Amino acid sequence: MPGNFTEVLLTGDLVLDEPDPDHWLSGIAPALRDSHLAIGHLEVPHTRCRTEAEGDVPAPGAPPENVAAIARAGFGMVSLAGNHIADCGPDGIAQTVALLDACAVLHSGAGRDIAHARKIAVAEAGGWGIALLSYNCVGPEFAWAGQASAGCAFLPVETRSGSPVSPRADLGSLASAALEILEEDITKARRQADFVIVALHQGTVHTPVRIENYEMEAARAAIDSGADAVVAHHAHIVRGISFHKDRPIFHGLGNGCVVTSALSPGQDHAVRAEWAKKRREMFGFEPDPAYTLAPFHPEAVNAFIGRLRIGEDAKVEAGIIPVHVEAPGRPVLAQGAAARAIADYVERITVAAGLPPIRIEDDGRVEQVA
């Protein structure tokens, strides 16, 4: 266990649709367990409910028993606000929340109504109170929680065409109501905890480098409202790292652990099979055929776990733990030259996105280049 500081680790999307979830998580579990707190993003509901939401490509419910593996791997907290958490309806959300509670995994971002979806999760880690807030920025709007309806917490974003918010809509600027939500929730979180992390489900999927304007607006607004760190996920590929007011922004954590057959073109589900084909055409990539359970952009094999180290003076140091995704989709901690290659990749995509250059030291520390 690290000494003289509190270590918080952060992963992107978790989709555990396959049997033997402990195996799929075993390549990163040692690092997670060695931290004071590990936080992931639970992408899909864990439920046997077969309800399918209409209006987006529905994800199947993952096996309920796999939630316990998330806890065994070392995760103590998860964000839930995303575009698939409501795909199995209110029962899927209720069952997922109940499973997390039974495994003592704290959560924020979804619930039986908007009040529960915006509820702040607070964990004690290394003597600090760590708060997590989770918001979906990409829709679809049917997944958003209401005053008396289940769903996820959200930050409203204006679409350029005036169409409803959805993952495939042309998203423009952050709506003014989003700033009010961040200000209200982060102010509450600061009363309950020493350190506040905001998780945002946002961005353009399957596309290296690209960071939309509203993503920058949301991340900086969260820090302006008092957040100590911001993390993003949804794109299924890592993005660059930047700082605002000396506080870190991980613009894309990529895949924490995604193993699923739901993206296979040859499956029986017509809508999911069509999307598996269409997304390759839309985003111009051909997945490596060896990655049958993680058929993502070829660059998505370059992954990392975000790292925050909180010192005794409450200052935070950002870092990464390089991860390589091995076929057919299992993430493993990278070592030696492989780890350095991933760090170099993150440095390159940060600059390519138009962000200020960073340097990633061999121990994973991320520093701004003066």
Model confidence band, residue 51 (pLDDT cutoffs 50, 70, 90):
confident
Identify the pLDDT of residue 1.
Answer: 44
Q: What whole-number distance in Å separates Cα of residue 128 and Cα of residue 197?
A: 13
CB 320 within 8 A of CB 343: yes
Q: How does strand 229-233 pair with strand 195-201?
A: parallel
- pLDDT, tens digit (0-9, with 9 covering 90-100), for 56-108: 778 889 999 999 999 999 999 999 999 999 999 999 999 999 999 999 999 99
Residue-wise over 130-167: b if at least 16 C-beta within 10 A, else e?
bbbbbbbbbbbebbbbeeeebbbbbbbbeeeeeeebbb
Identify the pLDDT of residue 313.
Answer: 86
Identify the pLDDT of residue 53.
Answer: 76
Identify the pLDDT of residue 289.
Answer: 94
Identify the pLDDT of residue 65.
Answer: 97
Residue 311, pLDDT > 60, answer: yes
- pLDDT, tens digit (0-9, with 9 covering 90-100), for 209-248: 999 999 999 999 999 999 999 999 999 999 999 999 999 9
Which one, of 251, 245, 301, 233, lies nearest residue 84 by Cα?
Answer: 233
Residue 26, pLDDT > 80, answer: yes
pLDDT, mean over the chain: 95
Identify the pLDDT of residue 268.
Answer: 83
Average pLDDT over residues 174-186: 98
Identify the pLDDT of residue 57.
Answer: 78
Which one, of 260, 364, 261, lies nearest residue 318 by Cα?
Answer: 364
Name which residue leads in pLDDT, 287 or 370: 287
What CATH number does residue 281 fall under? 3.60.21.10
For the chain, what is the domain count? 1
**CA distances (Å), origin 148, targets 97, 112, 115, 163:** 17, 7, 9, 24
- pLDDT, tens digit (0-9, with 9 covering 90-100), for 248-282: 999 999 999 999 999 887 778 888 888 888 888 88
Identify the pLDDT of residue 309.
Answer: 97
Burial class (CB in 10 A: 0-12, 13-18, 19+), 4: exposed
Model confidence band, residue 3 (pLDDT cutoffs 50, 70, 90):
low
Name which residue leads in pLDDT, 280 or 45: 45
- pLDDT, tens digit (0-9, with 9 covering 90-100), for 339-353: 999 999 999 999 999
Q: Which domain holds residue 221?
A: 5-368
To the question of pTM greater than 0.85 for the whole model, the response is yes
Give the least confident one: 49-63, 165-179, 204-218, 353-367.
49-63
| Residue 325 CB neighbours (<10 A) | 22
Question: Which residue, chain included where needed, has tokens 């350190």?
Answer: 195
Identify the pLDDT of residue 55.
Answer: 65
